[in-house]
Structures are given as C-alpha cells and as structure tokens.
Amino acid sequence: MPVAAKKVRVAVVGASGYSGEELVRLLLAHPHVELCALTSRQYAGKPLSQVLPWFAGHPAAKSLRFTDSTPEHLMASASVVFLALPHGVAAEFARPLLDGGCKVIDLSADFRLRSADVYQQFYGQAHPAPDLLAEAVYGLPEVHAAAIRNARLVASPGCYPTSVLLPLLPLLREGLVKPTGIIATSLSGVSGAGRKAELPYLFVECNESARPYSVPRHRHLSEMEQELSAAAGLPVLMQFTPHLIPMSRGILTTLHLAPAQHFNTELEMAELAARITRCYHNAYEHAPFVRLLCGDALPDTKQVARTNFLDLAWRLDPRTGRLLVMSAIDNIVKGAGGQAVQSLNLICGFEETAGLL
C-alpha cells in the first residue's frame, strides 16, 4: 500500500442526501483522505453534526460545516470532488471543476452514457454537457479499473446497474449466456428514492407494501444496456423490473438467463457449471468486493448491509434449461458512496479497499 505522505483533499457536493451522507461516513473514516468541504444549498451554514446528527462526536466531523460553495471555491481547496446531485445539475458543476484541474467523481446519471441521444431518450432533456461524455469513464471498478485510474471524470454507476452488471458482464464476455432474453428483477430499499418529502415514501405508505414501478422502462436501463452491449460485442436489450420493498437499504437482483449451450444431461450440466464457476472465478478472484457464495448460500441484503460487497450466487435449472444469478448489494454503499470511494482509491493510487473494509 502506498503510504500517502499527504492526504488527498476531497469535497462532497450535495452531501445531505442518503448517498452524500454515506460518502461523508466513508470519507471521514478513510485513512488517506481529508474531507475539506461539504455543500448543500438547503443547509448551507449549518454544522454537519446538526444536519446529520449521527456524525456528532466523530473527531474528524467537529469542524465540518455545510457551505454553498461555488466550483471555484471548491477547486481552491480540494483536488477530488464528489458530486451527489440530481442529474442535470451535476453536469453544470462538473465542467468548471474539471477546467480548474479537479478530478470529479459524479454519482448522478449525467456522465454514465456514451451517447447524448440515449440520455435525451431516457432522461427527457438535452444532455447538459455532451462534449464531456467521450472522456467520462463508467466507474465500475471491477470492469474499468485501468480507465478509472487515469480518469479526470468518473461516472459512478447507479445502484441497480451495479447489481445487474457485475453478475452479468463476465458471462456475456465469455459468451456463456445468450445476449438476448435477459430478464432482471430487482428489489430495492426505500433509500433508493432519495431523501425526498413525497407521499409514496412515507413510512405508512411503504410499510407492508411491495410494488413494482417504472415498468417497463426504468432510466437505469440505458446504462445497463450500454455496458452489456460493450461486453457482448453487439447491441443488447434487456428487461428490467424494479420493485420497492419495506426496508431502508439494499438491492436484491435476480437474473434469468439463457445459457449459450443447452444442457440436457447431467454431464452437460456439470460441464456448464464448471465453466460458469471458472468464469466467475477468473473475473472476480482478485476483486476484493465481489463475494462468490458457496454451498447452499443465496444472497441476502442484510449480509451486505453497510459494506461495499456484492454477494453473488447462481443456480442452473435442469427443468427449464435456464441459469439464475442472484446478487445483493447495499444500494447506498456499493450502489453509491462506497463504489465512488473505490474509484477514488484507484484514481489516487491507494489500495482498492482503503477505507472500505
């Protein structure tokens, strides 16, 4: 591990939402980071411990106060800036920061797509900074580590895409499953909706409620299909159905896939199983945050809660000839703040797990 002679100075823009809060938690505990600025229009001027009382008493949090700093102010003090802003707004912040020499890790959707057209299609507005898209790196460290290391602008993936792509990309890259007919069903905790005062997210409305939403075209499809297509080497369309369930954190994703080769006999099934095992092993044996479950174990969101891990298990179904892959992440950590810190670690040359284990 490279011992950072000097800590990297970072800022978080939009730090009062759930992702921003988790980022702050991780960055305050990070051994090589100094968190030097937090911004929030709504809470500007207030100390961190007043807005987010969980942090009170943590030594590093003593002096932190929310500001409504401009990019210009931020670039004066920070060398890496995290943006935890709504899409559309993030891009406005990113440009001056990049121009000023900062590295930017954006948690919004603004820089995740290669194509401004696809952005327009899925987000219903013209892309605010299309010229930056070519440069932005999709910040999935298990896949794009090399590019992230050299990036100025990292587009940290959404929570659903992380839970879908990590299980799926290796299989597609090795041609083990067909690039057609992919079906993903996801269950998300309510923090995925953000800290927004809206009726559908009230306790009483969410308790005892399980409901699909954004059917059949959730915005995250755009980035998932972009990455799947790149892995498969041809355009991939997938089905994705998210559900809201009564928990605070976590995403559980179940993928239904068609193996590229049929398995009709026990021998064929055993051979396919061996190939899948090898495929995941090759993909993730050195990935510190992917846990390939063994034996009877299946993913469970509570087992990844407040960690940066993705848990993954799979089953072949000899009755239907299908491969089922299941994953669990904490949507606010591996699906947001933790993943962004993982990119920071790559950018800064830290150990990939610094501050995350």
**Terminus-to-terminus CA distance in the chain, angstroms?**
14
CB of 202 to its own copies, least distance (A): 5
- Quick one: tokens of 102? 């900062």
DSSP 240-283: EEEEE-S-SS-EEEEEEE-BSS---SHHHHHHHHHHHHHHHHHH
CB of 171 to its own copies, least distance (A): 17
As beta bridge partners, residue 33 has: 8
Site for its own copies in 171-200 (CB under 8 A): 181, 183, 185, 187, 189-191, 195-199
CB of 345 to its own copies, least distance (A): 15
Rounded Cα distance, 256 and 241, in Å: 12
- Identify which range of 53-61, 66-74, 162-170, 271-279 contacts its own copies by CB under 8 A: 53-61
Q: How many residues at the interface with its own copies, by CB under 8 A?
A: 78
Site for its own copies in 84-103 (CB under 8 A): none
CB of 1 to its own copies, least distance (A): 12
Rounded Cα distance, 212 and 329, in Å: 19
The reply to whether 1 sits near its own copies by the rule CB under 8 A is no
- Quick one: tokens of 276? 């899948």
Among 77, 120, 229, 254, binds its own copies (CB under 8 A): 254
- Quick one: tokens of 4? 């950072």
List the Cα angle 289/292/298 in 5-degree steps. Answer: 115
Residues recognised as catalytic: 159
Q: For residues 79 and 254, which CB has a smaller minimum distance to its own copies in the complex?
A: 254
CB of 247 to its own copies, least distance (A): 5
Q: For residues 211 and 281, which CB has a smaller minimum distance to its own copies in the complex?
A: 211
Among 209, 264, 277, 282, binds its own copies (CB under 8 A): 209
CB-side exposure of 26: number of CA atoms within 13 Å? Answer: 32
CB of 205 to its own copies, least distance (A): 7
Site for its own copies in 298-357 (CB under 8 A): 298-307, 309, 311, 315-317, 319-320, 322, 324, 326, 328, 357
Q: For residues 211 and 278, which CB has a smaller minimum distance to its own copies in the complex?
A: 211
One-letter amino acid of 318: P
Site for its own copies in 221-240 (CB under 8 A): 237-239
Residue window 124-143: x/- pattern of binding to its own copies, with contact defined by CB under 8 A:
--------------------
Among 241, 260, 268, 273, binds its own copies (CB under 8 A): 241
CB of 289 to its own copies, least distance (A): 7
Burial of 298 (0-12, 13-18, 19+ CB in 10 A): middle
Q: For residues 100 and 195, which CB has a smaller minimum distance to its own copies in the complex?
A: 195
Among 228, 252, 276, 312, binds its own copies (CB under 8 A): 252
Rounded Cα distance, 249 and 246, in Å: 9
Among 205, 219, 268, 279, binds its own copies (CB under 8 A): 205
Task: Return the C-alpha torsion angle 168, 173, 179, 181, nearest 10.
Answer: -20
One-letter amino acid of 19: S
- Quick one: tokens of 248? 């605070």
Rounded Cα distance, 102 and 95, in Å: 10
101 touches 76 (CB < 8 A)? no
- Identify which range of 141-149, 150-158, 214-222, 259-267 contacts its own copies by CB under 8 A: 214-222
Rounded Cα distance, 53 and 167, in Å: 36
